[in-house]
Structure 1
């Protein structure tokens, strides 16, 4: 205002250039850039020649006003009027351009400094590197960083951090490591944020050894890990299942006096759940609560996912209700875990209901959600619903993957529609969908299950022609199918083909061959394969041991089977229900039910008994005419939380009918139906025959009608029984066959 009055009254005493420069600087500090430009115009009109400092403020004002055309014009005017230029004014222009996405123009300004007899300084380089990082031009930023280091400039911590973070986000971890090494050589240690970000990237890229080395380097430079560092490292070990090392870092964290946050707890709970160690997962969950830490949706989802994987759905849903009761909103992963658990338990109605709730609450299902539901329907044999969901998934813009395709191919094969599965796979290939060996292995399994080895081999040739290599799983399926057809010649051809491709049989293939030989009583060959397997470094598993034990038991070598079982225990392998079933089956066949009962009780105590072992035992008692003990076992199943199946009931119903206890047989039949257990053709045949023998022909025909209503197909034996009526009272053997 004073300056304008002096101009208005034609005052001959004008302010000094230094005063005007200070005035403009003060105006710029309070961001009055418009007034700066107005005063500058007055200065020029007054015939005052601006100096470099005034030009610097004016150029900054134009940059802040985003008028870069005028800013550049002012640069040219300054170059004509000022004798001694400096780099500061150019840095102002470079900063303005970088701030407003004109980074390439800024680089041109920097490159033009040499012509003007000027050199870029540390501020020039720092500004440009930050600007390049802002527009994600990291390669050029690295070049400029190298250039400035060669010139002896030490980049600022902010510049290093920005470049490291940018390269890290782009996955250029090697470039980051190289950069950290370079700045370290000039005495600049990256800060804790940089180290944490870099350690995190290395862990995510699977470079765990490098991450640990960087952690050690960080400590050696006097930078102490914080809660973020420890959280990253603990999470990386938990993801790899290296829980002991994760716990050692948790101890280090506590020793350093750092408060354990929710993040390490989440990692530990997730890690133990994935390993199936729910006891320790629950322990950390409770410890977290005791430490007054609030579980997050990730905490709950990890734990309930673990419960679902172990089939403990009641615990999973209890946890789900607990989290929603605490106003912790479930997310897509939470619902997907629960839906997956329900599908695995064959509870499709409940799974679909939960899927509907999820959508109603605007929680959008992802590819995995659809995949688990599609797989559930496929395993249930409901291919109509599976393909409906597949179509819905595509309509919603979700991309099916090899997991989706494999489930659908496998589902079609499981319901006997192998030719449709092949057509579906060929259609996917024509549409250029990505397929892998898993998709083809599902088709191969379908062909082999139906004994169509030639079709399976043709599919293999197509698979290889389409650029997908045969793997051990594919060969394993072909070998298993060949073994079931007792085709030794083809088996040898497949084994040679594997060897030519540098593939060696694995546990699964050796076990298939051992099992096939054991089942036909060829124990010499089975044990020969066992020796080769061990010699090749393949470690037998429970299935391998059980295959040999089964062969020995069937051949009557129960003592040798027991020795093999003891060897199994020495190898830290626990026998399963099938292993024990081999012994019980043999003991029942021999009529040695006392020893069978003793073994069965041991199984129950070890929580290894299942429906199959009970059925073997019940059949043994019925065969010996000890029906009362068979009935006791049926009651004991419920007490031990094991559900009987159709075989359980039909075995006892058969024995009651054979004894003429039709009333008791019908009572058991009704009990079976009330429990929702679907009778099969054999079960109907037993009871229909019992009714005919007892002269209850009306009841027999009622049962036949019931068969049709339930969609159970009568066999030739069913028709024969009804045709004979009550004329053949001693024909139970034919019914059994």
Structure 2
């Protein structure tokens, strides 16, 4: 509410005028003064004053005013202006505007505070820029414009999203003699920060300082909050240091903004540092600060610290609210701490904080993901017992959980019983898609098609996910005709396929070994302006390699490497390396293996073992050994399969020194041998020219070792030495 003192006698103000480009002309406002003269009545004046000042019956006063006009009696100009101001101060802006409109329509000249009331009404209207016309009218009427009125205009423009216009007005103020104050600048910097134009806000702060108007605490916190929300934490910390240098006490609002920003960045050290700093500086965290830190700690799984902080919070008289508890529960759910999440949910209720539906949904979702479907229904019952109505997401989550645990019949029953009751919850396309995706994964294509038909009957149009899922399901079953029928329906319903749908088609036809169709779809995908995904390339390259079309696969791989935003991943390289080695193109295989390592891609254990096998089978033992050592250096432990491939490779090359070296290494590592590796070791020893080892094989089998027995390498070799003294000791 505007204070009377702000509308003092205009003679107290220096005659400094503002001029603006007005959104409507001053003459259009002045046309409200046609000059109709009505009879004035002192009795009406007295009644209006009494209703406003004694009874505070503003609506009655406005009604009396309107009745007077209707009856041909008009209050005095003084009373009219008085009523406008009283209504404005009471916050009755619509009534104030109505009185203003009628009084000016009969030629009563508005005083300064009546014009101010008009301005205040307009800045809160859908078109606050019209208030600039009132600024011009105030000036034309011989009154002065003060900074308070201009701040109202700035606020109205900013709240309406007209920030650029507000900046123009601010510049005009600076150019004229109505000097902007700290509120003027703060209004605009705050709007810029909220609009994510935070660096413009920083620039405006610099202009503010140069104009001799120094930022206050609110100036800094507005921009600091904007920087933090954009994740510009280095800039935010610089601004905080500037605050300290200017002797501002960083308050809980600023600390909370910084802490939340670093939480979003996952910077635990900085969160902890700032939290302790604010405590050391005597700044008490509020519920927002605690909520942010607790949710962050929960997400990181630091439960002891969460428990300690909750106790600290309550010890300071700050009781966790629903937001705090919900944040902790959400963190527990994301860390698969479902039992603790359920316990926290119950504690929340015991403390009198009723969880929102979203919190119940988080717990239900976590339980479903853990396969705890029965417990999910317990939460559903708890929710309903508390008078909370499960929403669409609740039931969709339950249905998804049932499908993912193979409980298809239960999922269908829940869907039909809940969603077919029109008075309860209406399913949306996501709910139907959840059902269709789950059914297709489980191979229930007929049921999936049934839900697709139900969806259409309910007037819910399927989206790309709906059609793509059904297409993928039918291709997986080898039903190409039905797949094409769904494709036709998709085009009929004007659902344009994107790379997502094409990817499913390419994958499906590749798995059906219909590679020509897959290649055609791949080209069509590119011709339609879509960028093939890594999976599209990899799927097609895999099929080409399996068919022996290694040259086509090479061309595709080269094209993939040249594409932007489609870098080959470890699987892409594995497919091509394996395909090249299998086809005997070892030079190409080695070149892309080198390329893979240069890109910083590290194979997994399976790929390392496969490559070691390929190089060993090809007799490229130096390369196989290098891969073996690289695998060990990456923390992968060699198994019987790896040693078996190396032993056979060296054995075939006749390199018995390497064979014995590997046996020594296996013994040192206490490797447990399976039957296949024992047979390989015996085969290698039989190939040793210095020993006649052929007779060892039947003697060994008579030693009581069955085919599937496992035995440590060292024990196996010692048994051989006991049976046949001519075998040298390992390492001799």
Shorter-chain TM-score tier:
0.5 to 0.7
**TM-score (normalised: structure 2):** 0.61
1:374 alignment partner in structure 2: 364
What is the rounded CA distance, in whole Å, between the counterparts of 1:521 and 1:269 in structure 2? 57
Are 1:106 and 2:58 matched, yes or no?
Answer: no
Give per-residue Cα distances to partners, 1:681-711, cap 9 Å, x unaligned: xxxxxxxxxxxxxxxxxxxxxxxxxxxxxxx
What is the rounded CA distance, in whole Å, between the counterparts of 1:490 and 1:317 in structure 2? 59
1:259 alignment partner in structure 2: 249
1:468-547 alignment runs, 5 A limit = 472=499, 476=503, 479-480=506-507, 483-489=510-516, 491-492=518-519, 494-495=521-522, 498-499=525-526, 502-507=529-534, 509-510=536-537, 527-540=554-567, 544-547=569-572
1:447 alignment partner in structure 2: 440
What is the rounded CA distance, in whole Å, between the counterparts of 1:519 and 1:309 in structure 2? 44
1:566 alignment partner in structure 2: 597
SS in 1 for 2:126: helix
1:129 alignment partner in structure 2: 119
What is the rounded CA distance, in whole Å, between the counterparts of 1:165 and 1:587 in structure 2? 71
What is the rounded CA distance, in whole Å, between the counterparts of 1:633 and 1:461 in structure 2? 61
SS in 2 for 1:452: helix
Are 1:364 and 2:354 matched, yes or no?
Answer: yes
2:239 alignment partner in structure 1: 249
SS in 1 for 2:183: helix
User: Which of the numbers 125, 129, 132 marks the counterpart of 1:138?
Assistant: 125
SS in 1 for 2:249: coil
1:63 alignment partner in structure 2: 52
The more displaced of 108-117 and 616-625 is 616-625
Seen in structure 2, the aligned counterparts of structure 1 residues 140 and 479 have a Cα distance that, compared at 3 Å, is: same
User: Which of the numbers 218, 222, 226 marks the counterpart of 1:228?
Assistant: 218
- Structure 1 unaligned runs (5+)? 1-50, 605-612, 635-650, 660-727
| CA apart distance, 1:120 | 1.6
**TM-score (normalised: structure 1):** 0.61
Task: Give yes or no for contact 1:87–1:121 (8 Å, CA) kept in 2.
Answer: no
Are 1:149 and 2:115 matched, yes or no?
Answer: no
SS in 1 for 2:225: helix
SS in 2 for 1:139: coil
Give per-residue Cα distances to partners, 1:97-152, cap 9 Å, x unaligned: 3344654443343234446543223211112333566xxx5237653542342452
What is the rounded CA distance, in whole Å, between the counterparts of 1:430 and 1:167 in structure 2? 48
1:119 alignment partner in structure 2: 109
2:328 alignment partner in structure 1: 338
Higher-RCO chain (CA-CA 8 Å, sequence separation at least 6):
2
Seen in structure 2, the aligned counterparts of structure 1 residues 298 and 388 have a Cα distance that, compared at 3 Å, is: same
2:608 alignment partner in structure 1: 583
Task: Give yes or no for contact 1:126–1:156 (8 Å, CA) kept in 2.
Answer: no
What is the rounded CA distance, in whole Å, between the counterparts of 2:392 and 2:213 in structure 1? 45
Seen in structure 2, the aligned counterparts of structure 1 residues 413 and 471 have a Cα distance that, compared at 3 Å, is: farther
- Structure 2 unaligned runs (5+)? 1-39, 444-471, 476-481, 648-661, 679-704, 711-732
1:382-397 alignment runs, 5 A limit = 382-383=372-373, 385-386=375-376
SS in 2 for 1:138: coil
Task: Give yes or no for contact 1:444–1:459 (8 Å, CA) kept in 2.
Answer: no
What is the rounded CA distance, in whole Å, between the counterparts of 2:491 and 2:358 in structure 1? 28
2:577 alignment partner in structure 1: 552
Seen in structure 2, the aligned counterparts of structure 1 residues 479 and 295 have a Cα distance that, compared at 3 Å, is: farther
Are 1:97 and 2:81 matched, yes or no?
Answer: no
Seen in structure 2, the aligned counterparts of structure 1 residues 247 and 165 have a Cα distance that, compared at 3 Å, is: same
2:720 alignment partner in structure 1: none
What is the rounded CA distance, in whole Å, between the counterparts of 2:317 and 2:131 in structure 1? 51
Give per-residue Cα distances to partners, 1:283-308, cap 9 Å, x unaligned: 43344444443344444443444444
Give the structure with the higher percent helix. Answer: 1
Seen in structure 2, the aligned counterparts of structure 1 residues 300 and 102 have a Cα distance that, compared at 3 Å, is: closer
User: Which of the numbers 230, 237, 246 marks the counterpart of 2:227?
Assistant: 237
Give per-residue Cα distances to partners, 1:472-531, cap 9 Å, x unaligned: 556555555555555435544654564566432345655665677789997655554443
What is the rounded CA distance, in whole Å, between the counterparts of 1:618 and 1:154 in structure 2? 93
Give per-residue Cα distances to partners, 1:41-87, cap 9 Å, x unaligned: xxxxxxxxxx9999988754431123565788799999x9x99x975
What is the rounded CA distance, in whole Å, between the counterparts of 1:517 and 1:308 in structure 2? 47
What is the rounded CA distance, in whole Å, between the counterparts of 1:273 and 1:628 in structure 2? 52
Give per-residue Cα distances to partners, 1:366-389, cap 9 Å, x unaligned: 344233223213322344554665
- Report how many residues are paired: 576
RMSD: 5.5
SS in 1 for 2:599: helix
1:34 alignment partner in structure 2: none
Task: Give yes or no for contact 1:453–1:478 (8 Å, CA) kept in 2.
Answer: no
What is the rounded CA distance, in whole Å, between the counterparts of 1:560 and 1:457 in structure 2? 41
Seen in structure 2, the aligned counterparts of structure 1 residues 624 and 434 have a Cα distance that, compared at 3 Å, is: same
| CA apart distance, 1:180 | 4.9
Are 1:281 and 2:255 matched, yes or no?
Answer: no
2:689 alignment partner in structure 1: none
Seen in structure 2, the aligned counterparts of structure 1 residues 194 and 343 have a Cα distance that, compared at 3 Å, is: same
Seen in structure 2, the aligned counterparts of structure 1 residues 732 and 176 have a Cα distance that, compared at 3 Å, is: farther
What is the rounded CA distance, in whole Å, between the counterparts of 1:229 and 1:223 in structure 2? 11
Are 1:272 and 2:297 matched, yes or no?
Answer: no
SS in 2 for 1:505: coil
Task: Give yes or no for contact 1:237–1:243 (8 Å, CA) kept in 2.
Answer: yes
| CA apart distance, 1:351 | 2.0
1:7 alignment partner in structure 2: none
Task: Give yes or no for contact 2:122–2:128 (8 Å, CA) kept in 1.
Answer: yes
What is the rounded CA distance, in whole Å, between the counterparts of 1:629 and 1:360 in structure 2? 61
What is the rounded CA distance, in whole Å, between the counterparts of 1:617 and 1:187 in structure 2? 84
